[in-house]
Amino acid sequence: MRNRNLYILTAVVVLLSLALSACSQSSNQTVRIATDATWPPFEYVDEDSKEIIGFDIDLINAIAADQGIEIEIVPVEWDALLAGVSQCQYDAAISAITITAERAETMLFSDPYINAGQIVAITADNTAIQGPADLAGMVVGAQIGTTGAIEIENIDGAELKTYDTVDLAYLDLINGQIDAVVADYPTAVSFVGQSNGQLITVGEVFTDESYGVAVCNENAELLDQINAGLNAVMSEGLIPELEAEWLAVSE
Ligand code: ARG
């Protein structure tokens, strides 16, 4: 009896360690892609399936398939995401990331894949704010560390209020806690569209920004693969397809 138990125990241990080594082997080859899944329609958690979905997720999957790379989507808070890529805690990140000169000092960027500038959102009953020029003297929300937050800081007299996630900024806006929110246009349209008419966007898109895939500085080879895959899927017309699928949200 003792022997038999010992035999079973040994078998279990052997199987477990085999399973473990299989895991660690595959994770050695798997490219870890960070995303902050709070930014519809680019990356967000689907209410029903609880899966991370969106434009960026479809795009990176298509790039990976084209290049034959195995990827794992790693959910990371935005505030930690760019630093994480800079420190190569993740191989790359796709997260509606605007390519900026400052960020490019600490990470690599793929070729741009879409344009998305900033837009102001307010409550539908607000007549005082028509665009960024009216934000002086106002409390304006944005997700911390985003280009939207940086733009608000650059507006004389506007007071920036930062949030860990942008949904909380729109919630505060609806609740009258702040006067406006600045965020990327497609994301603003998405939240305005979900607000049952309580929110509107005003004025023009007032910055010129392009998104790129961010890659850890030490991985120029991965950057080449991502650019090759991006070029391939772009020449097959994937971007307009994804735009039609994900960005055609009516206000
Ligand atoms: N495009 C803006 C930036 O790069 C906002 C990106 C926020 N993305 C996100 N997944 N939370 O700063």
Please report the DSSP string for 165-221 in residue order.
SHHHHHHHHHTTSSSEEEEEHHHHHHHHHTTTTSEEEES------EE--EE-TT-HH
User: What domain count does the chain have?
Assistant: 2
- The answer on 219 and 100 residing in a single domain is yes
Q: Which structure tokens are listed for 168?
A: 């909380």
- The answer on 48 and 163 residing in a single domain is no
Domain interval for residue 182: 117-202
Confidence at residue 25, expressed as pLDDT on a 0 to 100 scale: 41
Q: Which residue puts its alpha carbon closest to atom 12 of ligand 1?
A: 146
Work out the pLDDT band at 23, boundaries 50, 70, 90: very low
- The answer on 121 and 100 residing in a single domain is no
Q: Which structure tokens are listed for 243?
A: 């735009």
Residue 57 CB contacts under 8 Å (≥ 6 apart), including other chains: 35, 43, 73, 94
- The answer on 105 and 160 residing in a single domain is no
Would residue 24 count as lying in a domain?
Answer: no
Work out the pLDDT band at 98, boundaries 50, 70, 90: very high
Point out the least confidently predicted range of 9-13, 49-53, 117-121, 188-192. 9-13
- The answer on 110 and 219 residing in a single domain is yes
- The answer on 122 and 100 residing in a single domain is no
- The answer on 240 and 129 residing in a single domain is no
Q: Which long-range contacts (CB under 8 A, 24 or more apart) does 162-165 make?
A: 164/77, 164/78, 164/79, 165/36, 165/38, 165/78
Pocket test for ligand 1, best of 55, 95, 115, 153 (most atoms within 8 A of CB): 95
Would residue 1 count as lying in a domain?
Answer: no
Confidence at residue 24, expressed as pLDDT on a 0 to 100 scale: 41
Confidence at residue 26, expressed as pLDDT on a 0 to 100 scale: 41
Point out the least confidently predicted range of 11-20, 85-94, 107-116, 229-238. 11-20
Confidence at residue 12, expressed as pLDDT on a 0 to 100 scale: 54
CA of residue 76 to ligand 1 center, whole Å: 12
- The answer on 215 and 100 residing in a single domain is yes
Would residue 13 count as lying in a domain?
Answer: no
Would residue 19 count as lying in a domain?
Answer: no
Residue 184 beta carbon below 6 angstroms from any ligand 1 atom:
yes
Question: Rounded to an integer, what distance in angstroms lies between the CA atom of residue 142 and that of residue 183?
Answer: 6
List the strands of the sheet with 139-143, edge to edge.
159-163, 139-143, 180-184, 118-123, 199-202
Average pLDDT over all residues of the chain: 92
- The 10s digit of each residue's pLDDT in 109-138 is 999 999 999 999 999 999 999 999 999 999
pLDDT at 187 over 80: yes
The full length of the chain comes to 251
Single pTM value for the model: 0.88
pLDDT at 251 over 90: no
CA of residue 95 to ligand 1 center, whole Å: 6
> Which CATH number goes with the domain that contains 36?
3.40.190.10
Confidence at residue 13, expressed as pLDDT on a 0 to 100 scale: 55
Residue 201 beta carbon below 6 angstroms from any ligand 1 atom:
no
Residue 43 beta carbon below 6 angstroms from any ligand 1 atom:
yes
Confidence at residue 29, expressed as pLDDT on a 0 to 100 scale: 82
- Quick one: average pLDDT of 174-192? 98
CA 108 → CA 111, 206, 213, distances in Å?
Answer: 10, 26, 8
CA of residue 134 to ligand 1 center, whole Å: 23
The residue out of 202, 219, 238 marking a domain boundary is: 202
Would residue 139 count as lying in a domain?
Answer: yes
- The answer on 177 and 63 residing in a single domain is no
- The answer on 90 and 104 residing in a single domain is yes
Residue 170 CB contacts under 8 Å (≥ 6 apart), including other chains: 121, 141, 181, 191, 195, 199
Would residue 80 count as lying in a domain?
Answer: yes
Would residue 42 count as lying in a domain?
Answer: yes
Would residue 8 count as lying in a domain?
Answer: no
Share of the chain above pLDDT 70, in %: 87
- The 10s digit of each residue's pLDDT in 132-167 is 999 999 999 999 999 999 999 999 999 999 999 999
- The answer on 109 and 37 residing in a single domain is yes
- The answer on 146 and 222 residing in a single domain is no
